[in-house]
Structures are given as structure tokens and as C-alpha cells.
Amino acid sequence: MLGNTRTGINFELKNGAATVAGTFSSLVLRNKDFMYNTATVVKIMDIAAGTTLSVEATRYKGGASVKTAQNGSSLLIEKL
């Protein structure tokens, strides 16, 4: 995070262009000297081969630049 202003970030799982219900997560970041925070969501889904999943992050408040940590973001998929 660059700057020292209160900034809010939302995260949602996308299946193609559609938001997957029940996957919303949010963070409020404040201080550039403490740059790390965690958001976790667990979702059980039925998906087919060829399904395109992505995580979308949007800033809803504040003006600070926010970026994910290198090798610090993950999407874990397990077959049940």
C-alpha cells in the first residue's frame, strides 16, 4: 500500500463474468508501514471441466494504491 490513508478493498470469486454468491470478502487497510492483511473465503462448488474462475479485487474507499504481495495470493481448488 502506498500512502497513509484508509482504503477499502472488496474481493469476489468470478465464474466467467458472473460473481459467485457467498464469496464476498473485504479488507480495510490504513497504514503504509503495516502493509499485509488477509482475506479468506471457503466455498464448495460443483464445476465442470473448462470452467474459468478468477478473483476480482476492487477498491471501494480511499485513494491509496494497493497491490497484492508477490506469490502471496492463491486460489486453491480441491476435488471432493
The pLDDT tens digits for 37-69 are 788 888 889 888 899 998 888 889 887 777 777
Domain residue limits at 50: 1-80
pLDDT > 70? residue 14: yes
Is the distance from CB of 12 to CB of 55 less than 8 angstroms? yes
Q: How many domains does the chain have?
A: 1
pLDDT band at 35 (very low <50, low <70, confident <90, very high): low
Task: Please count the other Cβ atoms lying within 10 Å of the Cβ belonging to residue 7.
Answer: 20
Global pTM value: 0.74
Average pLDDT of span 5-30:
90
Helix (H, G, I), strand (E, B) or coil at 66: coil
pLDDT band at 13 (very low <50, low <70, confident <90, very high): very high
